[in-house]
A and B are shown apart, each in its own frame.
Chain A
Amino acid sequence: DAGITQSPRYKITETGRQVTLMCHQTWSHSYMFWYRQDLGHGLRLIYYSAAADITDKGEVPDGYVVSRSKTENFPLTLESATRSQTSVYFCASGRQETNTEAFFGQGTRLTVV
């Protein structure tokens, strides 16, 4: 089915471990985004990508790494997970036109213990 999918939906990991969250979209959207959702903060932008091989930092990039070798994939890696990175992570994609909305995945609930 067309759309944007995230995997896994739920993940528990230990402090210090590396973990990668996957995001895949089938619309060939130029833009892709990673947000984290925390109570009292709404959604905050971690990283975004305007096209394959082009990525840029958002509001809260520290501790995260992204890559985009293919238009359809935008994985987010926590190099050494910390408890403060316990959150719900949303991937989104959007077209190149500036007046268009972003389309969101179902989210990944990550718990760092």
Chain B
Amino acid sequence: AQSVTQLGSHVSVSEGALVLLRCNYSSSVPPYLFWYVQYPNQGLQLLLKYTTGATLVKGINGFEAEFKKSETSFHLTKPSAHMSDAAEYFCAVSPTGGGNKLTFGTGTQLKVEL
């Protein structure tokens, strides 16, 4: 069975500072990996995904994530936080064997302060 752990349910950064949201997964084989963002009272929007190929993936709004198989991690980063980045972020995995079922982490609420 797959599982996802997001360290830190709440993260607070200053505007302009580095954003780092942590995600570790547990899976018998490397899964497909996703980061979603949720703004208040809205559905989830895909930020980026890793399936195969380059382990550093770039997404929307300046976010990127690096797949590290040896660390079973897929941390999300952004060099410079903006007020509009304040939202909840979810890491998710799906099996490469098919089914497209996403297993989500518990989410990290990002707060951006002036």
Contacts and interface: CB of A to CB of B under 8 A. Distances in A.
15 contacts: A42-B6, A42-B90, A42-B104, A43-B44, A45-B103, A90-B43, A92-B44, A96-B100, A98-B32, A98-B97, A99-B51, A99-B52, A101-B49, A102-B102, A104-B43
The bracket for how many chain A residues form the interface is 20 to 34
A31 to B, nearest CB: 5
Interface in A90-112: 90, 92, 94-96, 98-107
A44 interface: yes
Interface string B3-25: 01010010000000000000000
Contacts of A48: 99, 101
B44 A98 contact: no
Interface string A42-60: 1111001010000000100
Contact of B90 (A43, A95, A107): A43
A85 B8 CA distance: 26
B32 A45 contact: no
B85 to A, nearest CB: 19
A43 B44 CA distance: 10
